[in-house]
Amino acid sequence: YKRLISLKKSSETLKWGEFQLVSAADDMAVYRRTYENETLTIVLNCSDNSRKCEYKGELVLSSLKHEFSGELSPWEAVILKGE
């Protein structure tokens, strides 16, 4: 949680970016924050099962891992830059 708080304080996109809900179904939520020329996609797996993720981008933060291979572990959240 410390990494997330630090990122929130330092990211203009997370603080001020326009919110766009992309998807909220099947125990998975996806939204985007866009500010100036930066877009962050936040993907949340709210289930006890791993989920494939169709969203791509540079991994900014993961709640569980230091890399992102396109699959979210149970209860994992990722922030991706780009797309």
Residue 67 pLDDT > 70: yes
- Residue pair 52/78 in contact by the 8 Å Cβ criterion: no
Alpha carbon distance 59, 6 (integer Å) = 16
Q: How far is CA 82 from CA 3, 26, 58, 74, in A?
A: 20, 24, 7, 24
Model confidence band, residue 4 (pLDDT cutoffs 50, 70, 90): low
pTM: 0.86
